[in-house]
Amino acid sequence: MKLLSIALVGLFSVAATADVNGHWLLSKKTEGGFVIPELARTEKCRIYPAKKTGHYKVLIRNTFGDLVLKKSKYVKIENLEETIELASQENLVSTPNNICDAPETTTEAQIPGDIAQFTIFFTGGCANNELERQGSNSANLRALITKFCPTTIDFDLP
């Protein structure tokens, strides 16, 4: 019986950390476009579920040429998973973007427990249309992830 208890504890502790290592809920990445490596800039943030309900781990990675800055923090976010599920049902609008080799931003989300991800926003370019999910839930998710990764490339006129 002790062996079974130890095995179950080990199994649950692996399952509790699996999401932090792989299945993020919300992600944003901005890249600098076509530049020489020494001037390349990237900004990437991902929000992962933490062990405690309503708490999340945010991983932030910035690059400046060969320099790499990594940060992580734990935050409490209410209604994140529900908002992601609602955002997945909002309308995805596609608009032409013929700019090539320019910087781009991609914001994506995953419904908890689902491996598939969906686009909330994508700059587009080089024959790829800009994609933007329309609705308050998607807008709120974009605002949330922007708190951790503030740079957004969007070529739409205000």
> Identity (one letter) of the amino acid at 147?
K
How many Å apart are CA 122 and CA 107, to the nearest integer? 6
Q: Which one, of 50, 59, 71, 56, lies nearest residue 29 by Cα?
A: 59
Fold type of domain 2-146 = Mago nashi protein (3.30.1560)
> Three-state SS across 125-155?
ECCECEEEEECHHHHHHHHHHHCCCCCCCCC
Its pTM surpasses 0.85: no
The pLDDT score that the predictor gives to residue 98 is 83
pLDDT in tens, the chain (158 residues): 444 343 333 333 333 333 444 689 999 999 988 888 888 899 999 999 998 888 999 999 999 989 999 999 999 999 999 999 999 999 999 999 888 888 899 999 999 888 789 999 999 878 789 999 999 999 999 999 999 998 887 776 45
Let me know: does 138 contact 90? Beta carbons within 8 Å: yes
Q: Where are the domains of the chain?
A: 2-146
The pLDDT score that the predictor gives to residue 22 is 66
